[in-house]
Structure 1
Amino acid sequence: MMRSWMAWVGLLFGVIPALVAVAHGRWLQAGIAAGIAVVFLMAGAQASKPRTPRPWAGRRP
């Protein structure tokens, strides 16, 4: 499931408006909305990954 708020923004302001714009034949608006969807969905997917531990980021003894 989508854990990131960016993925929800991409869905609400990108995917759904793109589908509505295609249904109404507004291709430029659909392209812009699809671009917004790609940016936010990719950012949301990146943000929802678990972070890998970095051994060099810890304290030194």
Structure 2
Amino acid sequence: MKQADIMISQWGGQRQAFYGKNGVCVITKSGDAWIYKTTWKNTDFDENTERILEVVKKYVK
């Protein structure tokens, strides 16, 4: 999460997805706290995740 290149807010701000070259982390708001929903390593990326990171690399950095 701290090494993410981009964060995408979802569900009206109730969920956040952090994307980076090393992996992805998704957190969900539970009351006033944030909890980790899921994570995956870059070895688990599918073609959609690779496309997201290509766009990030091209336009965000």
TM-score, normalised to structure 1, is 0.31
Structure number with higher relative contact order (C-alpha < 8 Å, ≥ 6 residues apart): 1
TM-score, normalised to structure 2, is 0.31
- The structure where strand makes up a greater share of residues is 2
- The structure where helix makes up a greater share of residues is 1
Of structures 1 and 2, the larger Rg is shown by 1
